[in-house]
Amino acid sequence: MCKELKLKNKDENLYIPEKARIVEIKTFTEKEKFFKLELVSQKSLGHVPGQFVQLSILGIGEAPISISSPPSSDHFFDLCVRAVGNVTNKLHTLKVGDEIFIRGPFGHGFDDQILAKMQGKHLLFIAGGIGYVPLRSLINKVLKSPQKYQKISILYGCKTPKERMYQDELTKIKAMGSNIEFLETVDHADTDWTGNQGVITTLIPKVKFDPAKTIAVIVGPPIMYKFVLISLMEKDIPKKNIYMSLERRMKCGVGKCGHCQMDGVYVCQEGPVFNYEDVYQKEEVL
Amino acid sequence: MSLNSSLKIDKKILLENLEKTIQKYDLIALKKKGENYLYDYIQKSKEIIFKYHPTVLSPKKFFFPKEEVLFEYTADGEVTPKSETKPTILFGIRPCDVNGIHILNEAFAESKGDPNYLAKKENSLVIGLDCEKLCDENAFCYRVKSQNSTKGADLFLHDLGLEFALTIITDKGKKFAQEYLQSSPGSEQALTKYQAAKKKSFSLVAPFRDLDKLPEIFSKNQNHVIWKEKGSKCLSCGSCIMVCPTCYCFDVADEFALNLQKGERLRRWDACMLSSFAEVAGGENFRDKAENRLKHRLNRKFNYLMKKHGQAVCVGCGRCVRACLADINPKLIVKVLTGEQE
């Protein structure tokens, strides 16, 4: 009498995750680890910058995580994960070779249309803390062909020097020179810190840009957006030239579970990457 | 009305035929359990209650149960999708709930489609039953024009006393009627008379003023004082959502068996009125005030999802009004926003 679900293969069932293997782990900070993963199927994840996956550990649960690597044709991808909940804390205990599960990629990221709009422009990346993680996917993509852009400025702010991630990579970016500039700051310096000190908005006046020819991309905690947006508005960057990526606790990733809904918008469908012009009048954005 | 509307079926024959279906189908209908009325599994057709008494939960629980397994897994990482469904008949579903089923059908079929819901839906048949009058003072189906909804049902019945007028809504319903129901041509007149009586009993009540413009009205009134006023009374208990025929938010959780060799990924009803609903891992809560949660829920019903479905996503069943401990009534909130007098 019972009828099994009519599905030819698992791909048709949007809740069934696929296996991924951890191939490399780096410890960035006390709370953040880097994971290089491969899909066991050897398929490419097929994402665009700014998208996310649902990462699951069977028996623990599932959590939405931003993809940190640029799109690639091979089957590897990077995640950088802060241990804050059940799934992420468990993930931090895993080792190279261990298997986890992935669904996705989900969401609307920096698609071809946005990337085309960025060409020839001054790109101003503003990342706060772990906000660098989703932004890295886009930054590493544009750094593959920096000549396509007038200039690339990366502003990175952390609470303390110890919370800075991807330090080796950022050192290299700093040395790339020509049209690439990298500035960083910490809210609270320690005795070894000789760099900038102050919140991230203190870096904005240090960058010279023509507001009409600049595209800003911001990712960070809600409080950071508020102040950064004020600074950018003061500098007359048009709203349509500002992109942001929003954090929500998606449970399904496919516009059904309701958790990520912001005003009428499902962040997992229309976001997490939004143009500021499209969302500035919405109440529940930040 | 449909061309098939002039079918009829004798009440006694209907009950006999329904009982025959139990060999092949799970039969669900309104029945009495203790002092309460509810939609539940029927063993003998005489258990079926034909006079409507409002139920606490809507029939949504049969397609979208409060907890269900999405897939099973083993400790070795073998994942098996799971969605066992049995052929099911939902009998005697009232227009408001029929409309609720229609809305959920659309919501779960959208984009890639929810395999678990769709499997249950596909394996079931919905037989609607008309309401001649309002069931109680809390129901407000007429306000959202769902008192005559048949979309969502496969067959629809009108109680004419000793017999029912039968309307075929879908091909699936037609097939079922041919196989099981032994209906015969009925008089168009009897149904027309029934509908005239119903129209009369609903003539004293009217739909919301500007019903079709509610999305616009809600958008304009995001800062209306009513949200604070009613929201401050809300206990954030989530009862309104548990009883709602069109709420479908869910949570996903994993459970391992005691032997640690296998486990299940479950989905459970969740509620956007609960304080932690929009909280993220770092502790930030994007909807931390009850007034904002109330506003969000009613905007889903009368604005955000209304635009998507082309009709109010509140079906006016009145269950949330009956369940609310703080006397929050969506009907009154909408009336305040539209500026309508009682």
Chain B residues in contact with A264 (beta carbon < 8 A): 299, 303-304, 307
In a domain, B170, yes or no: yes
Q: In the prediction, which pLDDT does A11 show?
A: 52
Number of domains forming the structure of chain B: 2
Roughly what angle, to the nearest 10 degrees, separates helices B290-299 and B330-338? 80
User: Domain limits at B111?
Assistant: 6-202
Same domain, A139 and A38: no
Same domain, B36 and B166: yes
Chain A residues in contact with B82 (beta carbon < 8 A): 5
Chain B residues in contact with A247 (beta carbon < 8 A): 280, 282, 284
Same domain, A170 and A255: yes
Q: In the prediction, which pLDDT does B208 show?
A: 94
In a domain, B96, yes or no: yes
Q: In the prediction, which pLDDT does B186 show?
A: 84
Same domain, B36 and B154: yes
Same domain, B281 and B247: yes
In a domain, A4, yes or no: no
Same domain, A133 and A81: no
- Whether A193 contacts A186, CB under 8 Å: yes
Q: In the prediction, which pLDDT does A16 show?
A: 94
The CA radius of gyration of chain A, in Å to the nearest whole number, is: 19
Please answer yes or no on whether B252 and A263 come within 8 Å at the CB atom.
Answer: no
Same domain, B90 and B161: yes
Q: In the prediction, which pLDDT does A1 show?
A: 34
Of B171, B202, B233, the residue that ends a domain is: B202
Q: In the prediction, which pLDDT does B260 show?
A: 85
pLDDT, tens digit, for every residue of A25-49? 999 999 999 999 999 999 999 999 9
Greatest CA span in chain A, whole angstroms? 73
Q: Tell me phi and psi for residue B98, to 5 degrees.
A: -60, -45
What letter does residue B136 receive in the DSSP assignment?
Answer: S
How far apart CA B257 and CA B243 sit, in angstroms, is 30
In a domain, A7, yes or no: no
Q: What is the CATH number of the domain that holds A93?
A: 2.40.30.10
Of B181, B202, B223, the residue that ends a domain is: B202
Residues 73-92 (A) with a CB less than 8 A from some CB of B:
82, 84-85, 88
In a domain, B342, yes or no: no
Q: From the CB of residue B3, how many other CB atoms can be counted at a distance below 10 Å?
A: 7
State the best of B85, B220, B252 to mutate against chain A, taking most chain A CBs within 10 Å.
B252
What letter does residue B279 receive in the DSSP assignment?
Answer: B
Alpha helices (H) in chain A, listed in sequence order: 86-91, 112-118, 132-142, 167-175, 222-234, 267-270, 276-279
In a domain, B1, yes or no: no
Same domain, A94 and A163: no
Of A106, A124, A140, the residue that ends a domain is: A106
Give the rounded percent of residues in chain A with a pLDDT score beyond 90: 91
Chain B residues in contact with A221 (beta carbon < 8 A): 282, 284
State the best of A10, A11, A13 to mutate against chain B, taking most chain B CBs within 10 Å.
A13
Please answer yes or no on whether A14 and B85 come within 8 Å at the CB atom.
Answer: no
pLDDT, tens digit, for every residue of A185-196? 999 999 999 999
The pLDDT tens digits along chain B (342 residues) read 444 457 999 999 999 999 999 999 999 999 999 999 999 999 999 999 999 999 999 999 999 999 999 999 999 999 999 877 899 999 999 999 999 999 999 999 988 899 999 999 999 999 999 999 999 999 999 999 999 999 999 999 999 988 999 999 999 999 999 999 988 888 888 889 999 999 999 988 899 999 999 999 999 999 999 999 999 999 999 999 999 999 999 999 999 888 889 999 999 999 999 999 999 988 899 999 999 999 999 999 999 999 999 999 999 999 999 999 999 999 999 999 999 975
Burial class from Cβ neighbours inside 10 Å (0-12, 13-18, 19+) for residue B253 reads middle
First to last CA, chain A: 50
**A10 pLDDT band (50/70/90 cuts)?**
very low
- Identify the residue whose tokens are 């025959």: B20
Q: In the prediction, which pLDDT does A6 show?
A: 44
Same domain, A99 and A116: no
Q: In the prediction, which pLDDT does B258 show?
A: 87
- Whether B264 contacts B71, CB under 8 Å: yes
Token digits of residue B87: 């052929």
- Interface predicted TM-score (ipTM) over 0.85: yes
The CA radius of gyration of chain B, in Å to the nearest whole number, is: 21
Q: In the prediction, which pLDDT does B342 show?
A: 58
Same domain, A17 and A93: yes
Chain B residues in contact with A17 (beta carbon < 8 A): 79
Same domain, B243 and B217: yes
- Whether A133 contacts A68, CB under 8 Å: yes
How far apart CA B277 and CA A262 sit, in angstroms, is 12
Same domain, B148 and B64: yes
In a domain, B54, yes or no: yes
Query: How many residues are there in chain A?
Result: 286
In a domain, A2, yes or no: no
- For residue A186, give how far its alpha carbon lies from the nearest alpha carbon of chain B (Å): 20
Per residue, the 3-state secondary structure of A23-74, as one string, reads EEEEECCCCEEEEEEEECCCCCCCCCCCCEEEEEECCCEEEEEEECCCCCCC
Same domain, A247 and A178: yes
Strand order in the sheet with B155-159: B36-41, B26-33, B88-93, B124-129, B155-159, B163-168, B7-10, B184-185
Same domain, B93 and B189: yes
How far apart CA B290 and CA B296 sit, in angstroms, is 10
What letter does residue B4 receive in the DSSP assignment?
Answer: G
Q: Is A198 helix (H, G, I), strand (E, B) or coil?
A: coil
Averaged pLDDT for residues A166-184 = 91
Number of domains forming the structure of chain A: 2
- Identify the residue whose tokens are 């938010």: B249
Same domain, A32 and A157: no
Pairing of strands B79-81, A151-158: unpaired
State the best of B244, B260, B265, B298 to mutate against chain A, taking most chain A CBs within 10 Å.
B265
Same domain, B223 and B314: yes
The answer, for A238 touching chain B at a CB cutoff of 8 Å, is no
How far apart CA B336 and CA B342 sit, in angstroms, is 10
**What's the mean per-residue pLDDT of chain A?**
92
User: Domain limits at A48?
Assistant: 12-106
B262 has which bridge partners? Answer: B74
Same domain, B175 and B274: no
Residues 166-225 (A) with a CB less than 8 A from some CB of B:
221-222
Q: Which residues have CB under 8 Å from A219's CB, separation 6+?
A: A126, A127, A128, A131, A132, A134, A135, A244, A245
Nearest Cα residue to A186 out of A164, A154, A219, A217: A164
Q: In the prediction, which pLDDT does B110 show?
A: 87
Of B157, B183, B202, the residue that ends a domain is: B202
Of A106, A128, A156, the residue that ends a domain is: A106
Q: What is the CATH number of the domain that holds A128?
A: 3.40.50.80
Chains A, B: CB contacts within 8 A come to 144
Q: In the prediction, which pLDDT does B265 show?
A: 96
Query: How many residues are there in chain B?
Result: 342
Same domain, A67 and A127: no
Chain B residues in contact with A82 (beta carbon < 8 A): 281-282
Same domain, B243 and B152: no
State the best of A86, A259, A266, A274 to mutate against chain B, taking most chain B CBs within 10 Å.
A259
Give the pTM: 0.93
- For residue B179, give how far its alpha carbon lies from the nearest alpha carbon of chain A (Å): 18
| Range with lowest mean pLDDT among A12-16, A225-229, B167-171, B262-266 | A12-16
Same domain, A138 and A90: no
- For residue A106, give how far its alpha carbon lies from the nearest alpha carbon of chain B (Å): 12
Same domain, B21 and B92: yes
In a domain, A286, yes or no: no
String of b and e for B53-81 (b: at least 16 CB within 10 Å)?
ebbebbbbbbbbeeebbbbbbeeeeebeb
Same domain, A98 and A148: no
Same domain, A139 and A216: yes
**A178 pLDDT band (50/70/90 cuts)?**
confident
The answer, for A133 touching chain B at a CB cutoff of 8 Å, is no
Q: How far is CA A231 from CA A200, A211, A234, B309, in A?
A: 10, 12, 5, 40
pLDDT, tens digit, for every residue of A52-71? 999 999 999 999 999 999 99
What letter does residue B89 receive in the DSSP assignment?
Answer: E
